[in-house]
């Protein structure tokens, strides 16, 4: 900028010179103050006194759009905080989160899938939330379902707040059930008569094959581990010992359960083989599949994609040992490095509040299950204006669901287990007891090995 005060000019009277000097000083001070305000406010007017927090989440464009709406709502309500949504593609999310956590550059608040939470929390990446939860009168811990609270605990302390909670549901094509003369499975379930044997009967009745043996429609999609853990429990089996040190899959109950699933595919021919299921030829949306098992969060997708037939949801069938389903969520965590823990907690409390849960999981969006009892039992959640109408299935998942034995070694031993189970699901070894014996031995070897970091 040119220095105009050095250009030749006539000297003003003394009074005017003092006045001009004062004016210049005032302008300089004003400019400096304005620059400081812009720097503090990140260049946006009205944010000069706001603290910026970063929130990291993943999802498809629609899901991230909902996250942005939540962030915008919080920013409007809190004039001292500005939250910025940090978006990372799902395929790169875990690696990005680990790198940022390890380098101490992570966002203030992060959503972590529970499959990864036990391994990350022990590395002291997350701040202990117990002091905030215990001293905050607005955070009603008693309103949260015990399983939802348990997922976020580590060594007796709270490190994560549960979000996107849900269980595996049975989605079913009501038109195919009616055409096959089969009773509605949800009505049978309410009478405790929807069993795995009844599922097999329905799957056989629904399935149709061409004269050359090619399937034209099939009864059920076979769920794989861990999405089928409930059938192990239904037949009296368990996955790991209570202390998590031994695999219990080498048991009669587990063998009966997985033999039942394998026989649906290879003996009864009512479930698509891996090749038949390729390219979604027998995906639920195709209308050529009677039943499929998937997470509650699939409801928005089916609402968009299924237009040609009626569908609904039902809890998993009962077995000889009961009918408990799976329950799993994600954890909302606070970075141990955040400079603003109290403000980060305020944002976390907002994302897990009853009002937010009612919006996310109610009839409008159906993204999963609420962690709060008051929301799950409210008419706002239980009312349905479009599929799925059987919202009692959602409530049952919360009240009767079991947590998977996800531990710090989960990624290792579950990968080994699925490699062996592929022999059964792929039809290369049709003896479930033999496959599970090999699998249990290899999982035990992982659990007994020295843990890597």
pLDDT of residue 277: 76
Nearest to 49 by CA among 83, 20, 81: 81
- Examine domains 51-166+328-402 and 167-326+407-448 and report if their fold is the same: yes
* 13 DSSP 8-state letter: P
pLDDT surpasses 50 at 136: yes
- CA atoms 407, 411, 415, 421: torsion sign: positive
pLDDT of residue 37: 39
Q: Categorize the per-residue pLDDT at 48 as very low, low, confident or very high, splitting at 50, 70 and 90.
A: low
Q: What is the pLDDT of residues 13-29, one digit of tens each?
A: 444 444 444 444 444 44
Q: Is 320 helix (H, G, I), strand (E, B) or coil?
A: coil
Q: If you average pLDDT over residues 81-109, what whole number do you get?
A: 95
Q: What is the pLDDT of residues 168-179, one digit of tens each?
A: 999 999 999 999
Half-sphere exposure of 395 (CA within 13 A, CB side): 17
**Superfamily designation of domain 167-326+407-448:** Periplasmic binding protein-like II (3.40.190.10)
DSSP string for residues in 409-436: THHHHHHHHHHHHHHHHTTS---HHHHH
Who wins on pLDDT, 319 or 453?
A: 319
**Domain 51-166+328-402 coded CATH 3.40.190.10:** yes
pLDDT of residue 59: 87
**23 vs 5, 277, 346, CA distance in Å?**
13, 79, 45
Half-sphere exposure of 240 (CA within 13 A, CB side): 22
Q: Which residues pair with 144 in a beta bridge?
A: 372
pLDDT of residue 22: 43
Q: Categorize the per-residue pLDDT at 450 as very low, low, confident or very high, splitting at 50, 70 and 90.
A: confident
**Element of type H or E holding 329:** strand 326-334
Per-domain boundaries in the chain: 51-166+328-402, 167-326+407-448
Q: What is the pLDDT of residues 382-403, one digit of tens each?
A: 999 999 999 999 999 999 999 9
> What tokens appear for 347 in the block?
């944002």
Q: What is the pLDDT of residues 49-62, one digit of tens each?
A: 899 999 999 988 88
What is the reported pTM? 0.87
């Amino acid at each position: 900028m040119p220095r105009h005060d050095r250009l030749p000019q006539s000297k003003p009277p003394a009074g005017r010179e003092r006045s001009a000097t004062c004016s210049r000083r005032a302008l300089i001070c004003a400019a400096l103050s304005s620059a400081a305000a812009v720097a503090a406010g990140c260049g946006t007017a009205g944010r000069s006194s706001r603290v910026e927090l970063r929130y990291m989440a993943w999802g498809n464009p629609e899901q991230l759009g909902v996250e942005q709406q939540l962030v915008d709502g919080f920013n409007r309500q809190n004039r001292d905080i500005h939250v910025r949504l940090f978006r990372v593609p799902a395929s790169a999310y875990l690696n990005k989160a680990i790198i940022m956590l390890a380098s101490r550059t992570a966002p203030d608040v992060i959503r972590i899938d529970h499959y990864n939470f036990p391994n990350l929390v022990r590395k002291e990446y997350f701040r202990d939330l117990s002091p905030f939860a215990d001293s905050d009168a607005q955070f009603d811990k008693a309103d949260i379902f015990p399983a939802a609270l348990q997922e976020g605990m580590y060594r007796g302390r709270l490190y994560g707040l549960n979000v996107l909670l849900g269980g595996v549901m049975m989605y079913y094509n009501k038109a195919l059930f009616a055409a096959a003369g089969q009773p509605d499975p949800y009505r049978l379930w309410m009478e405790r008569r929807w069993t795995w044997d009844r599922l097999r009967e329905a799957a056989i009745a629904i399935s149709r094959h061409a004269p050359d043996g090619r399937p034209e429609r099939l009864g059920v999609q076979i769920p794989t581990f861990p999405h089928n853990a409930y059938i192990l429990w239904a037949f009296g089996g368990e996955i790991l010992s209570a202390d998590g040190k031994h695999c219990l899959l080498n048991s009669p109950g587990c063998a009966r359960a997985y033999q039942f699933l394998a026989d649906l595919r290879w003996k009864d021919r009512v479930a698509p083989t891996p090749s038949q299921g390729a390219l979604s030829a027998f995906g639920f949306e195709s209308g050529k599949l009677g039943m499929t098992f998937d997470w509650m969060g699939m409801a928005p997708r089916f609402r968009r994609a299924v237009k040609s037939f009626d569908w609904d949801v039902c809890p998993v069938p009962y077995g000889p040992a009961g009918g408990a389903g799976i329950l799993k969520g994600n954890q909302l965590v606070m970075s141990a490095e955040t400079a603003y823990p109290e403000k980060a907690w305020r944002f976390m409390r907002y994302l897990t509040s009853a009002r937010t849960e009612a919006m996310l999981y109610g009839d409008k969006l159906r993204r999963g299950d609420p962690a709060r009892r008051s929301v799950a039992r409210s008419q706002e959640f239980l009312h349905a204006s479009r599929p799925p109408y059987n919202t009692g299935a959602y409530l049952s998942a919360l009240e009767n669901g079991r947590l998977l034995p996800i531990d710090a070694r989960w990624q290792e031993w579950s990968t080994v287990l699925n490699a062996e189970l592929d022999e059964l699901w792929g039809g290369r070894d049709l003896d479930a007891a033999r496959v599970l014996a090999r699998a249990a031995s290899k999982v035990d070897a992982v659990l007994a090995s020295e843990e890597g970091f």
